[in-house]
Amino acid sequence: MHFSSLALRELVTRLLEEDIGYGDITTQAIVPPQARGHGHLLAKEALVLAGLEVVDAVFHTVDSTIRLDCAIQDGAHLVSGNVIAELHGPAHALLTAERVALNLLQRLSGVATATRRYVDRVRHTKAHIIDTRKTTPGLRLLEKYAIRVGGGHNHRFGLGDGVLIKDNHIAMAGGVRAALRGAKQRAGHTVKVEIEVDTLGQLKEVIDEGGVDIVMLDNMSLEDMTAAVKLVDGRMTIEASGGVTLERVPAIAATGVDLISSGAITHSVPQFDVGLDYKDAA
C-alpha cells in the first residue's frame, strides 16, 4: 500500500478506540470468553474491492491471533454474494472489531468503485482520472490508495507536496505574473508548480510568463478546453476541473486534456454493502 504500515497501525488504533469506548459491553456480557468464531466477509452488491490490508490491520490490532484468508485482492470486481475473506479467531475480538472493519472497507470500496466508473469512461483516451483534497478528513491516505485501486491517479497529498496557485492566491499576490515569479523563486526544485486559470486570457498570460508544470482549466466549456489544449501545445500538463460528471467525462477527455479531477469520487460516494456472516462457533 502507498502509506507506511506505521501510520496505518496508528490510525486504525484511533478508529477502534472511537468505536469501542469503554469496552464492548454486549459481547462481554453475553459471549463466553473462550468462544471462537468463524465467518465470511461477503460482497452484498457489485463493487470494486479496496481496503483488504486495512481490514487486516483492524482485526490484528484487536487480536493478533485472528486468521484472515483472502480469496481475492484489492481491485477485484465483485458481485453480490462473492466471498471476500474467511475469518477465524476468538469470538470476542471478531465481534468487537467488525464494525470498524466494515465501515472502512465499505467506504474505500465505494471510492474505488466510483473511480473505476470514471476511468472506464475515458479508457480509450490518454486522460487520467485524478483526485482532489476533498477527501474525508482523517482518511486521506486511505482514500488516495482507493483511488489508485480504482485505476485513478493521485493529485498532491496535502498543502506541502506541491504548489497549486488558485484565484485567491493570484488575487492576494497581485496578479498572475507576481504569483508565478514568487512560486518559481521560492518553491523547491523538487516541487511541481500548477496554476488554475478560468479563461483563455489567463492561460495566455501564464504562457507569456514562461508557463508552469501543470495548468488547471477551471470550469471551462468544452470549446474553451479544446482551444486551451491547442494553445498549450504540449508544453504543460493540462488538468480539467469542475463540472465533471460520468455523462460529461468522455467529452472532456476528447478535448485532449491530460488529467480530469473529481472531488465527488471521494466526498460524495455511497458506501458499498459488505457483510460479515458468522457460522456457528467452533
* Positions marked active-site: 99, 134, 166, 196, 218
Residues 112 to 151 in contact with its own copies, rule: CB under 8 A: 128, 130, 133-141
* Residues in Cβ contact with 188 at an 8 Å cutoff, skipping those fewer than 6 apart: none
Burial class (CB in 10 A: 0-12, 13-18, 19+), 73: exposed
Q: Quick one: which segment of 44-52, 73-81, 114-122, 157-165 binds its own copies (CB under 8 A)?
A: 157-165
> In the complex, what is the shortest distance from the CB of residue 148 to its own copies, in angstroms, rounded to a whole number?
8
User: What is the β-pairing status of strands 128-130 and 163-165?
Assistant: unpaired
First vs last C-alpha separation in the chain: 33
> In the complex, what is the shortest distance from the CB of residue 201 to its own copies, in angstroms, rounded to a whole number?
19
Quick one: which of 71, 171, 246, 251 contacts its own copies (CB under 8 A)?
171
Closer Cβ to its own copies, 223 or 277, answer by number: 277
For residues 236 and 213, the answer to whether their CB atoms sit within 8 Å is: yes
Map residue 41 onto helix, strand or coil. strand
In this structure, the number of other CB atoms found within 10 A of the CB of residue 10 comes to 12
Burial class (CB in 10 A: 0-12, 13-18, 19+), 146: buried
Closer Cβ to its own copies, 213 or 223, answer by number: 213
Residues listed for the chain: 282
Question: If binding means CB under 8 A, how many residues of this protein chain bind its own copies?
Answer: 96
> In the complex, what is the shortest distance from the CB of residue 24 to its own copies, in angstroms, rounded to a whole number?
4
280 lies in the binding site for its own copies (CB under 8 A)? yes
> In the complex, what is the shortest distance from the CB of residue 162 to its own copies, in angstroms, rounded to a whole number?
4
Residues 232 to 271 in contact with its own copies, rule: CB under 8 A: 237, 258-259, 264, 267-271
> In the complex, what is the shortest distance from the CB of residue 81 to its own copies, in angstroms, rounded to a whole number?
17
Sequence-ordered alpha helix ranges (H) in 63-188: 91-121, 140-149, 167-173, 176-186
C-alpha cell at 200: 483563455
Structure-derived torsion over alpha carbons of residues 95, 84, 145, 112, reported in degrees to the nearest 10:
-110
281 lies in the binding site for its own copies (CB under 8 A)? yes
CA atoms within 13 A on the CB side of 37: 25
100 lies in the binding site for its own copies (CB under 8 A)? yes
Residues 57 to 96 in contact with its own copies, rule: CB under 8 A: 61-62, 91, 95-96
Residues 16 to 35 in contact with its own copies, rule: CB under 8 A: 16-32, 35
15 lies in the binding site for its own copies (CB under 8 A)? yes
Closer Cβ to its own copies, 133 or 248, answer by number: 133
212 lies in the binding site for its own copies (CB under 8 A)? no
C-alpha cell at 14: 484511533
**Per-position x/- string for 174-203, each x denoting binding to its own copies as judged by CB under 8 A, each - no binding:** ----xx--xx-xxxxxxxx-x---------
Quick one: which of 14, 67, 123, 230 contacts its own copies (CB under 8 A)?
14
> In the complex, what is the shortest distance from the CB of residue 98 to its own copies, in angstroms, rounded to a whole number?
8
Give, in order, the Cα–Cα distances in Å from 238 to each of 5, 180, 215, 226, 255: 33, 17, 5, 11, 11
